[in-house]
Amino acid sequence: MHSNQTPATTASAAGTHRNNSPAKADAKRLSKAQIAALASRLSAPYASPINLMCDGRRITLEIRLVKALQYRVMTFVDGSFKGAWSFSEQALPEQKFLRKSIIHLYGPAKKAELIKRVGKKFALTLGVDKTRTLFWPDWPNAKAALNHLNKVCESVELIEEAAP
């Protein structure tokens, strides 16, 4: 180890991950250069979709108009999206490809008002601290979607489409 290197930099140079476990040789993921190239490909409003094979599932990322003059990157699992994936109380395998959003049932002002009116103990029994987890298919940009897929999937590969 050189004098200017920390143990963390030598561990990463030795081929281990942050948790000091050896890197999986069979896991194939996208490189930073590939993510940047794919993100730039999806930056135009009428860009062609990107198809990926993530853990044996076909994931399609494409640009969709969601509001007037607002485009988002949409995620499709095996060519479709089902609303049941967003609102399911049970964990579904398709949810790992989607954007996770945790919402509080009561906002801070409403929560404070309830605590003030009925007391903290009773307000907690009413569920003022409860949250709900939702999974959405949209992403603000392609880089966010690709980084998420790279993080949660063991294997991420680009499926090259034949030119027409």
pLDDT in tens, the chain (164 residues): 444 544 444 444 444 444 444 444 456 888 899 999 999 998 888 889 999 999 999 999 999 998 998 999 999 999 999 989 998 888 899 999 999 999 999 999 999 999 999 999 999 998 999 999 999 999 999 999 999 999 999 999 988 764 55
pTM of the model: 0.73
User: Rounded distance, CA 127 to CA 153, Å?
Assistant: 34
CA distances from 39 to 52, 129, 151 (A): 13, 38, 16
Query: Tokens for 89?
Result: 């109380």
Q: What is the pLDDT of residue 8?
A: 47
Half-sphere exposure of 102 (CA within 13 A, CB side): 3
Q: What is the pLDDT of residue 13?
A: 43
Alpha carbon distance 129, 150 (integer Å): 32
pLDDT at 160: 77
